Amino acid sequence: MTHVTADQDDSSFALLCYTFGVETLELLLQDLFTRDSYVVMLNGVIIGKHRQPKKFADDMRKLRRSGRMNMFTSIYVNEKQGLVCIDTSGGRLFRPLERVLNGVPKVKEHHVRELKMQTKRRISHKRRHMLRLIHLQS
């Protein structure tokens, strides 16, 4: 049996942390955190910043969708925090989400049979566009 936690209001927890001596990053790294750029994190580590975060994320997603990047790479723009998060680490959980066009599923019954029969073959480029893998973040 599994348990999935729900989102919690973390603003009161953040205030508690500041009460116990946590300093905001804006005080420590004023040049890194500016309004005209987003911090870029790879697997939770700051690797730099980018002035066009949405374009950067879109370009990275295009690489992933074209098969030039691992299909399990997660790219997320967090506008509230000014972050671009890229996750390539192992142990993450993904769920397939079936794509639908004009109310008709792209995945047909024969596709499901083919996928069940070929357990060791890679998912073809054509089949990648029928499903979207959703990263279930903790």
Residue 89's nearest CA partner among 106, 101, 102, 72 is 72
Share of the chain above pLDDT 90, in %: 2
Q: How confident is the model at residue 77 (pLDDT cuts 50, 70, 90)?
A: very high
- The Cα 92–Cα 137 span in angstroms is 7
Q: Which residues contact 137 (CB under 8 A, 6 or more apart)?
A: 74, 92
Q: Domain locations in the chain?
A: 1-92, 95-137
pLDDT digits (tens, 9 = 90+) for 88-113: 777 766 666 677 778 887 777 777 77
pLDDT digits (tens, 9 = 90+) for 116-136: 776 545 555 455 566 666 556
Give the sheet arrangement for strand 45-50, strand by strand: 45-50, 38-42, 83-87, 74-78
Sign of CA dihedral 104, 109, 110, 116: positive
Average pLDDT, the chain: 68
- The Cα 4–Cα 33 span in angstroms is 33
- The Cα 48–Cα 37 span in angstroms is 10
1-92 belongs to CATH 2.40.50.140: no
